Amino acid sequence: MTCDFLSLAAPGVRTLQPYQPGKPESELRREYGLSDIVKLASNENPLGPSSRALTAIRDALSGLARYPDGNGFELKTALSAKLGVSMATLTLGNGSNDVLELAARAFLTPEHEAIFSEHAFAVYPIVTQAIGATARVAKANPPDHLMPYGHGLATMLALINDRTRLVFIANPNNPTGTWLNTVELEAFLSAVPETVIVVVDEAYGEYVEAEADCPDALRWLDRFPNLIVTRTFSKVYGLAGLRVGYAVSHPQVADLLNRVREPFNVNSLALVAAAAALDDAEHLERSRAVNRAGMRQLQDACRRLSLNWLPSVGNFLCVDVDRPGRGVFLELLKRGVIVRPVDNYGLPRFLRISIGTEAENARLIEALNDVLKG
């Protein structure tokens, strides 16, 4: 008789639903026999990594028999100089997902609670439940709000109690693309008790244009020692396949995060590629320019198709297709176009569409027009 392994699992793990990644191109090839595929599902940089990062990777290949620098000295040095922060404030992660989990492991227990918004990044409930802590989900903004389905900070603040230990805020938010402005986020941080750790997830921060007033939370680290800011090299820097991210926090908080960090959690190629990518300002600006143009291209197409979308300062657009989004997603797959249904985020009529190159966007627009009129 086979053992009931489910009964042996930790309580939080028994009912845990794994993270659902964007559909890979290889899977679509197997299922449909397609060769010409456009993937606009996972908010990746369509330009890929910078040439400097690729050169650094090639130069490091001969050292793969050695363990990486477990402290990530070179990358931390580069980040310290770029961000103007002390190396003692930095924690490196296997993607920013890793540092989000480190925050949960360091500060949550089954006796504590974590707060996050409806329609926020799926990793927040996953890490909370896996620890066995209680998730408090704040009602998001209503559809007619200036930032529809975005974070309602007053609602989040009202949920804080003596058991609250962590608050997760994505700014800009994934999958909606909405954001919090300087005044409201600063006021929230001022109102949160110092015993509550606030994680501001800025995975898409490098795409934000100045006129959007989506603040860089690093500016507040000296004022709010209970603040953790997380970022990633997976988006604008084009290193999603190498998995490298980081957190910036008060040195005592960073010390706690590093205590639960796995040894050698960032591999050698990721360390050198990320450090090199930080120096490539030209690639960064080119990536932003492609995103700006692609965002306009996609929004113009939505107007022609009479589709609404949510405000976004990321590298994606959450589009209301005015029908079940998963059905449209499946029809697009047949045409070799991969986007992201977000019904699992509580947005069943929406598709999250990553910004690609001009040609990739045109391919998506043509396929979407075909599906909606078909």
- Tens-binned pLDDT, residue by residue, of the chain (374 aa): 578 878 888 888 888 787 777 778 888 888 888 888 999 999 999 999 999 999 999 999 999 999 999 999 999 999 999 999 999 999 999 999 999 999 999 999 999 999 999 999 999 999 999 999 999 999 999 999 999 999 999 999 999 999 999 999 999 999 999 999 999 999 999 999 999 999 999 999 999 998 899 999 999 999 999 999 999 999 999 999 999 999 999 999 999 999 999 999 999 999 999 999 999 999 999 999 999 999 999 999 999 999 999 999 999 999 999 999 999 999 999 999 999 999 999 999 999 999 999 999 999 999 999 999 98
Span(s) in the chain for CATH 3.90.1150.10:
21-48+282-373
* Global confidence as pTM: 0.95
CA distance 201 to 172: 8
The token pair that represents 130 in the structure block: 């896996």
- Rounded distance between C-alpha atoms, residue 93 and residue 257, angstroms: 10
How far, in Å, CA of 102 to CA of 367, rounded?
Answer: 41
And the tokens for 46?
């369509």
Strands 113-117, 245-249: parallel, antiparallel or unpaired by DSSP? unpaired
Range(s) of the chain covered by CATH 3.40.640.10: 51-279
Which CATH homologous superfamily contains domain 21-48+282-373?
Answer: Aspartate Aminotransferase, domain 1 (3.90.1150.10)
> Cα dist. 79→58, 318, 358 in Å?
21, 31, 32
Dist. CA 208–CA 288, nearest whole Å: 9
What number of helices (H) and strands (E) belong to the chain?
14, 13
Q: Are 167 and 194 in contact (CB under 8 A)?
A: no
Q: Which two tokens stand for residue 250?
A: 């008060």
Q: Please count the other Cβ atoms lying within 10 Å of the Cβ belonging to residue 62.
A: 8
Specify whether the CB–CB gap between 149 and 143 falls below 8 A: yes
What would be the CATH architecture of the domain defined by 51-279?
3-Layer(aba) Sandwich (3.40)
Which residues, other chains included, contact 266 with Cβ-Cβ below 8 Å and sequence gap of 6+?
68, 72, 75, 92, 93, 94, 243, 244
Q: What is the CA radius of gyration of the chain?
A: 21
Alpha carbon 37 to its chain centroid, in Å, reads 24
Q: What are phi and psi of 241, to 5 degrees?
A: -70, -15
- pLDDT at residue 225, rounded to an integer: 98
Please state, in angstroms and rounded to a whole number, the distance separating the CA atoms of residues 223 and 192: 12
Query: Given this model, what pLDDT does residue 291 score?
Result: 98
**pLDDT for residue 10:** 86
Residue 262: count of CB within 10 angstroms of its CB: 11
